[in-house]
Structures are given as structure tokens and as C-alpha cells.
Amino acid sequence: MTMKRSFFERLSGNAPSENTFDSFDDELPVVTPTFSAPRTQTPDTQARPSLLNTDTSQNEGQLPVDVHQTPSDIIIRAFVAGVRPDELNISISRDMVEIGGNRSEREQVSEPDYFTRELFWGSFSRTILLPQEVDVEACSANAKDGLLTIILPKLDKARQTKLRVKAG
């Protein structure tokens, strides 16, 4: 019985080995992708349950944010459209920022009347761990056109001050 040479043996010209298994010689079945028929656009409340969940009493949304730095500040931006600035709760410590609030629907629409429902209504919060300590007393926040901007001045750890000792 003649043994079939492996791919490596044919490539390198080596003598056949004791092992008869060669994965390169095994032919794998060809799998062809199957495509399903396109879906019709009908109001389907089961299509995206995570987006259509209207029970906001137990669920809290997470506020998406952008965080970047300049040489002297850490800047946080978040869209808070539909929330008045006095309804936002912002807590700042030296290494963490917590943003919270509540977005309320202005009108009640019955569930069958929706074609698409992607907006989040209800309470939301976000905790952001800062990459560097900030000066809590010098922080500022501004909300304009639905965009919240928080400016957090960095603490300069390299800054030194001279302390004079008084003779007493």
C-alpha cells in the first residue's frame, strides 16, 4: 500500500513519517452562505426589545460621553437634550465624576402608534474615572443646545511652593 505524502513532505522533499494524518490533504466541505428573504418594514415591537423597553422604573440608562484632555484640563462632553440644567446632578471628586439626571416624555403616545422608538426616557447616570487628579474647586459646567460640557482643571503635581518657617 502506497502512503500519500503530506503537503510538508512534498514541499520539502523529506521522507514520509509514521504519522498518516495530514490536515492539508483532507478536503473540507464547501459551505455556501444562505440568504434569507428581506424583511418588510412593519412596526414590530419585538424586533429590538432593548430599545423598546418602556419600563423605566427599574432601568437606568447610561449616558454616553466624550472625554479628552488638553495640556491643562480634562474635558467631558455629553448630550443631555431634553433635560434642564437645574435637573442635572454632577458630583466631582479628585479622581471621579458622576453625572445623573432624568429625561421625561412631554406627551404620552400609545405603544401601537409607534413605528420606531429609539429615544431613551427616564433616569440616566454615568460614572467616569479620571486618568489624572483634578482641582475640584476650579471645575465648571456649561449646558448649551443640549450639550453638557464639564471642564476639570488638572492638578499639577510637579508644581512646588516654598514654605517659609516663622521663628516663634
Residue (of 127, 140, 139, 143) closest to 87 by Cα position? 143
For 40-56, how does the pLDDT look when each residue is reduced to its tens digit (9 = 90+)?
A: 444 444 443 333 333 43
Helices (H), the chain: 7-12, 49-52
Q: Residue 128: name the closest of 57, 85, 50, 69 by CA.
A: 69
For residue range 101-154, list pLDDT tens digits in order: 988 887 888 888 888 888 788 899 999 999 999 999 999 999 999 999 999 999
Question: Is CATH 2.60.40.790 the right assignment for the domain spanning 60-106+118-153?
Answer: yes
146 backbone φψ class: left, alpha, beta (φ>0; ψ -120 to 50):
left
